[in-house]
Amino acid sequence: MKKVVRWFMVLALLAFIAGVAMVINPFDRDVVQPVVTPDDPEVIQREVVLYFGDPAALFLVQEVRQIAECTADSVCLEAIVRELIRGPQTELVAVLPAQTLLLGVQIQEDTVWLDFNRALLTNHPVGSSSELLTVHALVNTLAANFPYIRKLVIQVDGVKVDTLRGHVDLRQPVAADFSLLRQELEVPVSEDVAVEAGENTDE
């Protein structure tokens, strides 16, 4: 009887620790993922652009990665989304729950349909900011690697969803929006250049 009680206490402690970890780290990403590349030197590599969250602000940040070359766009898109699920290899913020599985990819003209398992919803943290980053990290990543792709439809278990957790409207295809990207360099606006030119002329 004592052994049964002891095992019950151990299991309860493990469950408590797991619950605390989910609150502190909702995407379950406390370790930077290692770089995964094929061992075969003859495998042709393809450079892709992924977008993850900025840890300091509500922006998306670019991360470049290598995947195995693929002949069909749908196969490439599947590999790219799986890399997004794998998470960043730097100190950026993950945009998809680690438990997410990609079930299918369909391309219809300029729109991609991505079908995920229910973990995308159940393991996604509540909040408009996290939803916004997830949705646009997905569609912006796809558009950056395949410029003819401009929109995204998200499904869960084969059914189109209205929202992830009640904030971002997914009833219509979501268009790529690169205004959410963090700008690395500031470029002077044309008005400033025109004023400076005018001042030099008056002199």
Model confidence pLDDT, tens digit, residues 62-104: 999 999 999 899 999 999 999 999 999 999 999 999 999 999 9
Residue 135 lies in a domain: yes
* 119: CB partners within 8 A, 6+ apart: 97, 99, 100, 101
Provide the domain count of the chain.
Answer: 1
**b/e per residue 71-83 (b: at least 16 CB within 10 A):** eebeebbbbbbeb
Q: For residue 52, tell me if it sits in a domain.
A: yes
Count Cβ atoms within 10 A of the Cβ of residue 183 and give its class: 0-12 exposed, 13-18 middle, 19 or more buried.
exposed
**Segments in the chain below pLDDT 50:** 4-5, 8, 10-26, 30-38, 185-203
User: 30 in a domain, yes or no?
Assistant: no
Find out whether 59 and 124 touch, Cβ atoms under 8 Å: no
Does residue 29 lie within any of the structural domains? no
Do the domain assignments include residue 83?
yes
The HSE-up count of residue 5 (CA atoms within 13 Å, CB side) is: 2
Kindly state whether residue 69 falls inside one of the protein's structural domains: yes
Count the neighbouring beta carbons within 10 Å of the beta carbon of residue 31. 7
Does 136 fall in a domain?
yes
161 part of a folded domain: yes
What's the confidence (pLDDT) of residue 108? 96
- The answer to whether the pTM exceeds 0.75 is no
- Give residue 86's domain range: 45-180
Spell out a b/e string for 1-24, using b for 16 or more CB atoms within 10 Å of the CB, else e: eeeeeeeeeeeeeeeeeeeeeeee
Query: What pLDDT is recorded for position 168?
Result: 92
Range list of H helices, the chain: 2-24, 73-86, 119-122, 128-145, 190-202
The CA distance from 72 to 146, in Å, is 12
pLDDT in the model for residue 84: 97
Distance from C-alpha of 197 to C-alpha of 202, rounded to nearest angstrom: 9
